[in-house]
């Protein structure tokens, strides 16, 4: 499942729960599904962050991304 698919699933679950007329058992099911999707999104974001750190590595050290540095390099 992609990050975008997981986020769309989370948005759908939130919408259903916000309607307010969901039986308790179904609400618990939605909550569990939402937590699973949330964990998946978090893991995917952490993976991307590690990839970005690796890509931006300079002289054997990790260089955090800075918009100012990127803009200065374009000029």
Report how far Cα 60 is from the mean position of its chain's Cα atoms: 28
What is the predicted pLDDT for the residue at 30?
A: 94
pLDDT tens, position by position, 50-68: 888 777 776 556 666 555 5
Spans of all domains in the chain: 3-74
Q: Could you tell me the CA-to-CA distances from 18 to 11, 24, 35, 42, 49 in Å, in that order?
A: 10, 13, 16, 23, 31
pTM above 0.95, yes or no: no
């Amino acid at each position: 499942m992609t990050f975008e698919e997981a986020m769309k699933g989370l948005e759908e679950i939130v919408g259903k729960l916000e309607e307010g007329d969901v039986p308790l058992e179904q609400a618990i099911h939605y909550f569990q599904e939402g937590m699973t999707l949330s964990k998946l999104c978090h893991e995917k974001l952490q993976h991307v962050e590690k990839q970005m750190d690796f890509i931006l590595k300079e002289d054997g050290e990790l260089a955090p991304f800075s918009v100012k540095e990127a803009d200065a390099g374009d000029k």
